Each structure stands twice: as structure tokens, then as C-alpha cells.
Amino acid sequence: MSAPAIALKQINKHFGPVWANKNIDLTVRPGTIHGIVGENGAGKSTLMSILYGFYSADSGTIEVNGVEADIRNSQDAIAAGIGMVHQHFMLVETFSVLENVMLGAEGDAMLARASEKAETALRAIEEKYGLHVDPHAIVGDLPVGLQQRVEILKALYRGARILILDEPTGVLTPQETEQFFGILDSLREQGVTIILITHKLREIMAITDSVSVMRQGEMVAERETSDTSPQELAELMVGRKVLLRVEKGPSNPGDECLKVSGATYRDHRGVTLLEDLNFSVRRGEILGVAGVSGNGQSQLLEFLAGTLTPQQGELMVNTSVGTRTFLPSTNRDAAAMREMKVGHIPEDRLKQGLVKSFPAAENTILGFQGDVAYGNKLFDLAAIDSATRNMMEEFDVRPPTPELKSANFSGGNQQKLIVAREMMRKPDVLLVGQPTRGVDIGAIEFIHRNLIAARDAGSAVVLVSTELDEIMSLSDRIIVLVDGMITGEVNAAETDEKALGMLMSNAGEEA
């Protein structure tokens, strides 16, 4: 028996009073894919940050290939043959692939000579592992799936034989995810050891050999993947039974709340991103917007939320505060839409939903800071604190600490802060973008349940998601966007993934 590729023994880590990792033991066999699952805040990323040298453990030991390793920083980890690919890529978008791979590992004072050697080495790695990317392409011009390949190439170029992948499919389309799994298979066949952090249990079942489960900073279970199930893993993660399917009754649609007519939008380059959109959403229903990422979904949400103005078309909004029709010439912004009782859970919680340096209490009033309940811009701090605590309790935000900086919450709890801010005000229209991206199984169940509750309470919900399971299980009707155009509309109860996939590839008319 060969020594474990990784053996973590009695790892402990505190952040002030928070015990992030408690006496963790973890063994990873060489040449395997080992999954680590757990709710947001369970300690997964902290543990991997210790292994990669971003943090130092308070106590415990790390062994790499049977030899104890003193990993104090990422350079120590790289020297030990460990590489890490982060959920948010660490690439310079204006640099070429080759320049990104070389950065920090040039190896020669003569840059031209170093580039020549690096390109030769890079092409050999690409050929060995099937990771083909044009080394001279500018990274910012590459699709997300290829940018991820560059991150993996960076690690392999530095000699990594153990790869840590943190939520690697969170930004990938279903097609890119399938290609990515092919890459992981190839790496495994070549003897590379992979540690996969993910909340997607279907992916754990599809690609891993073994899986460890963390809960509240502790390692609570280890399983051979072939001996477990998504349901068992979900229960181990959360500590209770979890509904993996959305339970909802039939919708009861009422009046039209939103109606889009002839909406067309061209960007500053003259590229058409939305073309002649026509659809409506009624009270008491969820309209799903499906499509491969980058086909106009983001622009559609921005248009409906008031942060993007089309060159053509109109938007009718009919809510409890009145009815308004907005034209391209109308002075409209996000504040105007909030006044019309339109809530917005944006696609990117960090860029559009939160200010990370603000405490939770300040983020829960963003966009509503002028409300009388908060002191009408004079800021009644006690009222803001009380309202935030109520939101945190109702939406299970952990820790329930209004003064804690938002950057210090896990991704799932950041998302729940935004969901709470928008949904506690009972909007007549709720715009929702990628509501569970990078969110754990317990939070997914919670968010889904609240979206159904909003529908049942009479809200008109527009749901944008690249997760077909999510679109199909939550929606009542579904429209599909391809290149900014609607290629079809279906009743969610009467369709399946294959039919939606045909519409998403614009093959529906040919079928």
C-alpha cells in the first residue's frame, strides 16, 4: 500500500471565539478524486486554506506522500506539489495564457528565453493532460471554461501532483461542466490526486471516488462514493432530513404584473444583446428564464430592475402602488422600480448585492436607507439593528450578528442576507438571478421554499438560472433565451431537460 497523498491529523483552527476546524482528520488516497462537502461555514475552505498555506493551523500535522510537511505559505505548498484552483480565478485578464502561467515562476532573468522554455513546457503539459488552450490568447477574451483550464495549467506548470479545486463548476455551464469532468478523469488517469470542494451532490456522485462530510467545523463522516447516496450526504451535511426536490402545488396566476413588448438592447459596440423580447409575468406564478450563460439573461434582469435602458420597446409594471409604462425615453432607475414594489436578488452577490466592507446591518438597508422605519436618512441605528436581527432570525443567517462585516459571512449566508433584504418587504414583483449559485444544500432548500412561498403569497417571480434542475422544479412557465432572443416558451410541468436543451441550442424549430 502506498502512503496517502494527503494525511491531515488533528487539525485545529480558531478565528477569535470561532472554532473553524475541530480536531480534523482527513486521508486522501493518491490518484483519486476525493470530495469534501458541507454547508457554507462548515470549515471546508478553512481546512483547504491550511493545506495550501494561506492559514496556519493552531495545532495538528500535515503529511504529503507519507512525509510530514511544514506548510506555512503557498510557496511551501507548491514546493510540496500542491496546487489550488480558487472559485474566483486568480488571473490577469489583460495577460496572455502563457504570461499568466509563467507569472511568479519565470525561472530566467531573460524574459524571451524564459517564455520560450515555458511555452515548450506548457505545450507538453497540455498534450499530456488534454488541456489544450492557445498559449498566446488573451485570458480576458476566453470563455470561463477555458479560463479555468488556465488555472489548472498554472498549477501543473509549477509541478502540482495534488490539486485542490474549490467549487470549480460554480461558474460553468452544463456543457462546460461535462468537459471539465473529462479533464478530471484524464488527470486522475495520469496519477494526479484531486480534492474537490463542492455543494453539488450530483457532481460528487458522478466524479469522486470517496467523500468526506464536514459540519460545524468537524469531520462527521467519510464514505466511498459507491456506498452512499445524495440523500445520505445531505442529511450528514445538515444534521437533519433534507428535501432534495422542491415541493409546490399548482400556481394560481392573477393579473399581469410585468409585460415586456418589443424590447431590444444594443451595447456600446452596437452588439445586440436583447432582441425583440415579448413576454409577461402574472401574480402568483414563477416565470423561469433558461439558457446557457451569456445569452442575454444578465441584461434582461438589469433591464427589468431599472439599471439598463433598451433602445426599443416598453415595460409595463402593474403593482399594488399603481400601473406605469416605461419607454426608452422614460427617466427610470433601480430606485423607481423599488418604489413600484419590485424586488431584485442580483446574479452576483459580491458585485451587485453587497458591499463587503459594510457590516450586515448596513447591507440589509441598501436601497431602502430612506425608509421612515430606518429614520428617514437620519439612520435610527437601534431600528436598523432590530430589523437586521429579525431578518437574520427569519432567514437563518449565521452568525446572527448585525455588526459583523459582510465579507466575514460565508457565501451562503451572504446570499441569505440579500434574500432577506428583498423578500422581507413582500415585493409584488421579485426578480431573481442565480439564487443558489455557490450555496450549500441546506441554504438551497431554504431559498427555494421561500421563493415558492412568495409565489403563493401573490408575487410575480422572474427566475434566471443556468441550473436546469432549478428552473424546472421552481418554474410554472419557462422561456428560453439564445443570443438575446426568446426561442420558445413551455409549461414547466409538460417539458423535460432534453426539450429545454433543444431550445437552448436553438434546435427546437428543427426538431
Q: For residues 13 and 50, is the Cβ–Cβ distance under 8 A? A: yes
How far apart are alpha carbons 329 and 347 in whole angstroms?
Answer: 26
pTM of the model: 0.70
H or E element: which one contains 319? strand 312-319
Q: Domains of the chain by range and CATH?
A: 6-238 (3.40.50.300), 256-504 (3.40.50.300)
Q: For residues 92 and 110, is the Cβ–Cβ distance under 8 A? A: no
How far apart are alpha carbons 264 and 270 in whole angstroms?
Answer: 12
pLDDT value, residue 405: 94
pLDDT at 508 over 60: no
Give the amino acid at 383.
A
Report CA 246 to chain centroid distance, whole Å: 20
pLDDT value, residue 170: 67
How far apart are alpha carbons 262 and 325 in whole angstroms?
Answer: 13
**325-364 tens-digit pLDDT:** 999 999 999 999 999 999 999 998 988 999 999 999 999 9
pLDDT value, residue 510: 41
H or E element: which one contains 210? strand 210-215
pLDDT at 410 over 90: no
Q: 305, 260, 247, 255: which is closest to 282 by C-alpha?
A: 255
88 burial level (CB within 10 Å; 0-12, 13-18, 19+): exposed
- What is residue 3's DSSP assignment? P
pLDDT value, residue 422: 96
Q: Which of 7-11, 109-113, 382-386 has the lowest mean pLDDT?
A: 109-113
pLDDT value, residue 454: 96
Q: Which of 283-292, 431-440, 471-480 has the lowest mean pLDDT?
A: 431-440
**24-79 tens-digit pLDDT:** 999 999 999 999 998 877 899 899 999 999 999 999 999 999 999 999 999 999 99
**pLDDT > 90: what percent of the chain?**
71
Residue 228's pLDDT band (cuts 50, 70, 90) = very high
Summary mean pLDDT of the chain: 91
